[in-house]
Amino acid sequence: MTKYVVIGAGIIGFYTTFNLIEKGVSPKDITIIAEYLPGDESINYTSPYAGGNFSCITGDDPDTLAFDKITYLNLQKIQDTLGGPTCGLDKMPSFENWETRPADVKIESLKSYLVDYKETAANDLPKGASFGITFQAWNFNCPKFLANFRTYLEQKRGVTVLRKKLTHVSQAYLPHTKVVINCTGIGAHKLGGVADSKVYPTRGQVVVIKAPHIQENAFLWTADTATYVIKRPYSNDQLILGGFMEKDNWTADTFADQTADILRRTTELHPKILKENPAGSSIEDLEIIRVVSGLRPSRHGGVRIEKEFVDEGKILVHNYGASGYGYQAGFGMGEKAARLALEKSSKL
Ligand SMILES: Cc1cc2nc3c(=O)[nH]c(=O)nc-3n(C[C@H](O)[C@H](O)[C@H](O)COP(=O)(O)OP(=O)(O)OC[C@H]3O[C@@H](n4cnc5c(N)ncnc54)[C@H](O)[C@@H]3O)c2cc1C
């Protein structure tokens, strides 16, 4: 009997479902409805395209800082639950750098929980950086992790997963459903009954290369560019190189000039990519596996985690707008959405 429906089988839908179960909801009472499921590829399904790791990409408002921290501190539990690092989630060293020092509130927050947090000495900073840190990050093999998360929820716990495209959010209410949680990502822009005009894409392009010699992450944030190197765990040596942050660009196309720019920037930031490449030390020697683009589900005003009362005492909770940080902040977002979904209300 489906009392709870989660719309969306991206990382936000899965973290939210996990949190509902942790808070006592029987998995048998939960159905996940989604147009796209793990293994699918579509520009309207962002989660498989993420880099994806825990970085310092997020802002410094109190909610976001808390979502990051809660997620970072809960990923060990997720890894253990899904069967250890081969589920597609592992810890990796990260080297993160900024052109301009981030706000103190951000630094203080990161310092309070990141494992092996250390500030980088000025003469060890890469070109273009004035501040940097090293720490242990969480890295995701996104397609593998999503597939394993689905298997855990569906086969090990008994959640129902249903492929269906909804044109209106009201279609998510099955005969016994009291609560729907809307985790539709970029889909929230046009789903009937939601149609949130504040949702917009931040397009990214990444280049995936084979790099057995790289086992770490490197980042450089400047006013105009986001340059990143992310090791994909248990992926047969894949390394993700990025990237771009193009607001309001909906295209799934990829562009050769962006690929060239990404290769130039990432190899300048992390020269070891070329220096220790077994196939040779020029950009042309890199083995490119694929080039892809994805749409980060951004939202003016930030994420929407909000509860609405709809007809006949039914509840609709929204949980979308994770932009470039669904993996690293999404557990915290899912915890809040599940809390809102379950809290007692005089309106019921
Ligand atoms: C290039 C790139 C790099 C990134 N790197 C990172 C990173 O390193 N770390 C990080 O934390 N994040 C990263 N992100 C961001 C991250 O990928 C997103 O925040 C996250 O995937 C959003 O997840 P979601 O579940 O909200 O959306 P999605 O993954 O898009 O899932 C939405 C789900 O809702 C379903 N849906 C939507 N509309 C409907 C409908 N009408 N009917 C039925 N189902 C519907 C879809 O089918 C899908 O199942 C990156 C993103 C990109 C593009």
Quick check: is 348 in a domain? no
Strands (E), the chain: 4-7, 30-34, 89-98, 118-119, 131-140, 160-163, 179-182, 199-210, 217-221, 226-231, 238-242, 246-247, 287-299, 304-310, 314-320
- Cβ distance 119 to 130 under 8 Å? no
Check residue 59 and give its pLDDT.
86
For residue 39, the CA-to-ligand 1 centroid distance in Å is: 13
Alpha-carbon span 83 to 151, nearest angstrom: 11
Quick check: is 178 in a domain? yes
Alpha-carbon span 145 to 79, nearest angstrom: 10
Residue nearest to ligand 1 atom 25, measured at CA:
10
Quick check: 147 pLDDT over 50?
yes
Q: Is the distance from the beta carbon of residue 293 to the nearest atom of ligand 1 less than 6 Å? A: no
The pLDDT of 241-268, averaged and rounded, is 98
Quick check: is 189 in a domain? yes
Q: How many domains does the chain have?
A: 1
Check residue 344 and give its pLDDT.
78
For residue 166, the CA-to-ligand 1 centroid distance in Å is: 17
Quick check: is 165 in a domain? yes
Quick check: is 293 in a domain? yes
Write out pLDDT tens, residues 174-192.
999 999 999 999 999 999 9
Quick check: is 347 in a domain? no
Q: Is the distance from the beta carbon of residue 132 to the nearest atom of ligand 1 less than 6 Å? A: no
The pLDDT of 8-29, averaged and rounded, is 98
Would you give the distance in Å from CA 199 to the centre of its chain? 16
**Percentage with pLDDT > 90 across the chain:** 96
Atom of ligand 1 nearest to the CA of 230: 8
Write out pLDDT tens, residues 275-318.
999 999 999 999 999 999 999 999 999 999 999 999 888 999 99
Atom of ligand 1 nearest to the CA of 186: 30
Residue among 210, 173, 181 at smallest CA distance from 334: 181
Alpha-carbon span 205 to 195, nearest angstrom: 26
Atom of ligand 1 nearest to the CA of 206: 1
Write out pLDDT tens, residues 73-120.
999 999 999 999 999 999 999 999 999 999 999 999 999 999 999 999
Check residue 345 and give its pLDDT.
61
Query: CATH number for the domain including 204?
Result: 3.30.9.10
Q: What's the mean per-residue pLDDT of the chain?
A: 96
Residue 103 lies in domain: 4-342
For residue 114, the CA-to-ligand 1 centroid distance in Å is: 25
For residue 240, the CA-to-ligand 1 centroid distance in Å is: 17
Quick check: is 251 in a domain? yes
Report strand pairing: 4-7 vs 179-182. parallel
Write out pLDDT tens, residues 199-241.
999 999 999 999 999 999 999 999 999 999 999 999 999 999 9
Q: Is the distance from the beta carbon of residue 15 to the nearest atom of ligand 1 less than 6 Å? A: no
The pLDDT of 114-134, averaged and rounded, is 97
Q: In this structure, what token pair is assigned to residue 103? A: 């706000």
Quick check: 347 pLDDT over 80?
no
Write out pLDDT tens, residues 308-321.
999 888 999 999 99
Alpha-carbon span 88 to 113, nearest angstrom: 22
Check residue 348 and give its pLDDT.
44
Amino acid at site 286: L
Amino acid at site 171: Q
Check residue 83 and give its pLDDT.
96
For residue 134, the CA-to-ligand 1 centroid distance in Å is: 27
